[in-house]
Structure 1
Amino acid sequence: MEKITLYKEQLSRMRSMNRYYHDQFLLDVRILFILNTIFIYLSLNNEYALYLVPLISLFGSVILSFHAYFLIFSRNYTEFIEQKINNEFDDKILIAHELENDYFFPTKQKKMVVAVFNKNFSWFSFVTLFITTYGFSSFLWSVYMIYVSQLNLVYLYFVIGITVITLVVGYWWFISGTGEKRLERVFKNMDNKDFLEGTFDPYIGHEILEIKENYVKSSLDVKDYHKQPMGMVHGGVIDTMAEAAISYAAYFTQEGTWVGVNNNTDFIRAITDGTIICEATPIKLGKRSQIWEAKLYNNDQECARSTVRLTNIDRS
């Protein structure tokens, strides 16, 4: 089966998922609104009906966020596939993901589930916040009424406890961007076979052999143009391999955009022919700054060792 056919099938599948969870979201909003309104009304004459209002509000927020969870997944994957198809045709023929990013909500920006608070704020964001505010208000009102009425404080503390847990997990997954960062990491790894195409590395013959968590292995077959006048491989070639391998290791396995800011290389033995193998591993990992080491081998003997400090420009 052709690659473009597979892309089209995946795109159709993601569009179907997107539509299903949009429809399910709108259906559940209506159901939860009706249930919430009914029990708020009943609680005016029956204090026991009040017990269900905070649970309905909390469950509603969780289930609606669960639908958004799938919407975010399908939107991200749809964007990835559309960009792949555009690359195959070398033309921007699919722009739905760009329209959705501007008209609904952007996929690669910090947001409260699907609501953004920057220049990309939209009616979609407003409706999301409106529904959230309604549910949160009914939750606070019911909790307050249970408290002032002294109905059941044990139950009240239970509701508050599971609410705090829900908010913490929700912040971790949605607002901090943990979920979308995981998707981005997978997309990067899906591209790692051809991500160097058209860049400096293939121009000099530098090839990535293996990428996995905190590790990159690369190679370079020595040619005459890699050498300086004395017949040995130029030190700049060694430095290039080391810093490139380390930068790619951080790019594919660490969150953020990492670039080298310092490179110290020790040349252990001269290289005149054969293949150079470079292996990059971390020494110290941080969110803003990292130190990595690259060891380079020729004919199974270590020929150079390089230490590179990286900085995360997303946090600068």
Structure 2
Amino acid sequence: MPNLKAFAQEVFASQPFTRWIGAKLLSVGADHAEIGLTISGHHRQQHGFVHGGVLSYLADNALTFAGGLALGGDALTSEFKINYLRPARGDYLVARARTVGKGKRQAVCQCEILSREDGGEQLCAIAQGTILPVGP
């Protein structure tokens, strides 16, 4: 793929939910992706923590980008699992995903989601997923 970053930015920008939630594609490579999100009030649940669905979105999208880029193009998530390790607080989240194994028909990826609080990053969730290529 000649211009990986341009391809990834185009796909990312075409996602209506991503635009609505306010996520940003921070970086991509041949087998990894990083997505960031500035936390707003509507991202929180009743206890003031970031809603688990927001963390799940970040994991799903970062996993799919990492796996899709490793597979050479557009992709979909076949399945993923997330472990919530601690409540996400603070003002910013970042999801860092990487491909840990790939074949012709799938890639297995892992993702860490970190919250920025008190000047540092705190690991709040870990996810793993299987990503499938779309198209030929």
Query: Does 2:2 correspond to 1:186?
Result: yes
Query: 1:198: how far off?
Result: 4.6
Secondary structure of the 2:13 match is coil
Is contact 1:189–1:252 with CA below 8 Å preserved after alignment?
no
Query: 1:235: how far off?
Result: 0.8
Q: In the TM superposition, what are the counterparts of 1:98-247 in structure 2 within 5 Å?
A: 185-199=1-15, 200-247=17-64
Query: Does 2:126 correspond to 1:309?
Result: no
Query: 1:270: how far off?
Result: 0.5
Q: Which amino acid aligns with 1:192?
A: A
Query: 1:304: how far off?
Result: 0.4
TM-score (norm 1): 0.39
Q: Which amino acid aligns with 1:309?
A: T
Secondary structure of the 1:230 match is coil
Is contact 2:70–2:99 with CA below 8 Å preserved after alignment?
no
More helix by share: 1
Task: Decide which of 82, 95, 112 is 1:278's aligned counterpart.
Answer: 95
Query: 1:306: how far off?
Result: 0.5
Structure with max Cα Rg: 1
Q: Hey, what's the Cα distance between the residues in 1 that align with 2:99 and 2:10?
A: 24
Q: Hey, what's the Cα distance between the residues in 1 that align with 2:80 and 2:92?
A: 22
Give the direction of change, closer, same or farther, for the CA distance of 1:291–1:273 in structure 2 (3 Å limit).
Answer: same
More strand by share: 2
Query: 1:257: how far off?
Result: 3.5
Match of 1:249 in 2: 66
Percent identity for Structure 1 against Structure 2: 19
Q: Which amino acid aligns with 2:69?
A: F
Query: 1:187: how far off?
Result: 4.4
Query: 1:231: how far off?
Result: 1.4
Q: Hey, what's the Cα distance between the residues in 2 that align with 1:229 and 1:220?
A: 19
Q: Which amino acid aligns with 2:82?
A: T
Q: Hey, what's the Cα distance between the residues in 2 that align with 1:223 and 1:244?
A: 19
Is contact 2:23–2:37 with CA below 8 Å preserved after alignment?
yes
Q: Which amino acid aligns with 1:219?
A: G
Is contact 2:8–2:65 with CA below 8 Å preserved after alignment?
no
Q: Hey, what's the Cα distance between the residues in 2 that align with 1:239 and 1:226?
A: 12
Is contact 1:222–1:275 with CA below 8 Å preserved after alignment?
yes
Is contact 2:106–2:133 with CA below 8 Å preserved after alignment?
yes
TM-score (norm 2): 0.85
Give the direction of change, closer, same or farther, for the CA distance of 1:254–1:198 in structure 2 (3 Å limit).
Answer: closer
Q: Hey, what's the Cα distance between the residues in 1 that align with 2:66 and 2:96?
A: 10
Match of 2:113 in 1: 296
